[in-house]
Amino acid sequence: MAKYDPLADHLRSAGDRVSMSFSEIEALVGTLPRSARDYRPWWGNDRTHVHAKAWMSAGYEVSEVDAGAERVVFERR
């Protein structure tokens, strides 16, 4: 099992729009890299990155990121 598979599994059973805190994501996958907090493009919908590939394989894209509040919104495509 890959690190971000639990996030993909969680999203597969969720609604069309899912707002999660970074802490909620970390409860599923373990500690996020510092770049997830400091670098907005980390949350980009780019299948060349293993983390993005996980949520995209579950049928979602990131639509919003609020780094200050440490929240991300996934929306079903």
Q: Which residues contact 8 (CB under 8 A, 6 or more apart)?
A: 54, 55, 57, 58
Q: Confirm whether pTM is higher than 0.85.
A: yes
Per-residue pLDDT tens digits for 2-16: 999 999 999 999 999
User: Residue 34, Cβ neighbours under 10 Å: how many?
Assistant: 9
Rounded Cα–Cα distance for residues 51 and 40 (Å)? 14
Residues of the chain with pLDDT > 90: what percent? 99
Q: How confident is the model at residue 1 (pLDDT cuts 50, 70, 90)?
A: confident
Rounded Cα–Cα distance for residues 31 and 55 (Å)? 17
